[in-house]
């Protein structure tokens, strides 16, 4: 674009110089006109670029696929950009668990509108990461009641530095903040359902909650579990290995063999896979802890590959690679000493 503008400008200058005598007053006038024209061209292009940027969300969202899978007669899981969403539909309206990234909010609402004409009355945030709370602002502005643990609201109220990706996440506006918070647990009785929201120990973050639809026997466990990838303990947001192991034990104690388990970034899972995940994490933790007791450095432990037995089962290393999990656990253990 800059090359094109310069090309136009040079041609205009040459054309004007043909009509004007060098060093004459008229040449100065023409030169000023050219400068003015160049400035106008710059302003025009800047406006076009800014206009394009303002529409990036729409352009980005239009290329995304959002899919749904029916869980029960009135519940769905919604896959798309960011964390998985649970949708409950009933006489009291639509209830969401998490709301993905901000750019896809309108598309998410459109998908929900194809399933029900009920308004989105509640959204429950499992934690504070932007791929789970991005829709808060638009939904909050539309009158949706946002619910979360009190630590989620605290984190969303201020800029947060996400150490793992070396990025600062800006605070949400007041409309995007949860307006109902709790310190431990709370229960919502809506849609002929008992919805238990249970705060976990500091595992993935310090604001983790699971959301259990007890009548339908469906549970959203946020990012504390995945059936295809290793866990991430966001140490900069209060996460820890001890808290994650404790959280998984809590989840196992709540669910049964018929529970449909929805993780933030995996498919519909079950009790057996959650138990396997817990066993895997305890085994890797014990191995790393033992190596640390023997005085081995982080680099030495990474070279010994303490995750090797599980790398195929938890095959998705697109975000958390085996060495990242080892580093995460190592740093978490060091942090408590």
Integer Cα distance of 88 and 75 in angstroms: 5
Looking at residue 334, its pLDDT comes to 93
Looking at residue 260, its pLDDT comes to 98
Q: Where are the alpha helices (DSSP H) in the chain?
A: 2-19, 25-54, 56-62, 105-115, 130-133, 136-141, 150-156, 241-254, 271-293, 298-304, 322-336
Looking at residue 40, its pLDDT comes to 62
Q: What angle do CA 176, 178, 182 make, to 5 degrees?
A: 165
Low-confidence ranges of the chain (pLDDT < 70): 1-64, 336-337
Q: Bridge partners of 169?
A: 160
Looking at residue 51, its pLDDT comes to 42
Looking at residue 28, its pLDDT comes to 42
Tens-place pLDDT, residues 42-56: 656 555 544 444 444
The overall pTM is greater than 0.85: no
Integer Cα distance of 172 and 137 in angstroms: 7
Looking at residue 337, its pLDDT comes to 54
Residue 124 contacts residue 147 (beta carbons within 8 Å): yes
Domains of the chain (ranges, CATH numbers): 2-54 (no CATH), 58-336 (3.60.15.10)
Looking at residue 82, its pLDDT comes to 92
| Phi, psi of 8, rounded to the nearest 5 degrees | -60, -45
Residue 310 contacts residue 276 (beta carbons within 8 Å): no
Integer Cα distance of 218 and 206 in angstroms: 23
């Amino acid at each position: 674009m800059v090359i094109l503008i310069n090309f136009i400008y040079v041609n205009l200058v040459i054309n004007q110089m043909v009509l004007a005598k060098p060093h004459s007053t008229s040449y100065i006038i023409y030169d000023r006109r050219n400068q003015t024209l160049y400035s106008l061209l710059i302003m025009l292009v800047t406006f076009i670029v800014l206009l394009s940027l303002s529409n990036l969300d729409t352009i980005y969202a239009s290329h995304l696929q959002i899919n749904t899978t029916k869980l029960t007669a009135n519940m769905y899981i919604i896959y798309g950009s960011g964390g998985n969403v649970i949708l409950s539909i009933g006489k009291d309206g639509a209830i969401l668990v998490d709301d993905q990234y901000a750019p896809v909010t309108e598309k998410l609402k459109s998908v929900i509108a194809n399933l029900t004409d009920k308004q989105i009355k509640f959204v429950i945030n499992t934690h504070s990461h932007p791929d789970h709370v991005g829709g808060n602002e638009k939904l909050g502005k539309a009158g949706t009641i946002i619910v979360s643990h009190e630590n989620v609201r605290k984190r969303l109220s201020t800029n947060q530095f996400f150490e793992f990706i070396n990025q600062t996440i800006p605070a949400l506006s007041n409309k995007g903040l949860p307006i109902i918070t709790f310190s431990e647990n709370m229960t919502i009785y809506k849609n002929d359902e008992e919805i238990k929201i249970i705060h976990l120990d500091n595992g993935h973050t310090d604001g983790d909650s699971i959301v259990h639809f007890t009548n339908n026997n469906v549970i959203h466990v946020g990012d504390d579990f995945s059936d295809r990838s290793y866990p991430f303990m966001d140490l900069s947001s209060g996460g820890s290995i001890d808290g994650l192991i404790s959280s998984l034990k809590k989840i196992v104690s709540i669910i049964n063999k018929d529970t449909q388990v929805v993780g933030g970034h995996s498919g519909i899972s079950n009790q057996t896979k959650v138990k396997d995940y817990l066993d895997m994490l305890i085994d890797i933790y014990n191995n790393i802890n033992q190596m640390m007791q023997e005085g081995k450095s982080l680099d030495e432990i990474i070279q010994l590959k303490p995750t090797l037995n599980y790398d195929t089962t938890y095959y998705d290393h697109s975000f958390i690679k085996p060495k990242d999990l080892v580093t995460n656990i190592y740093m978490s253990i060091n942090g408590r000493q």
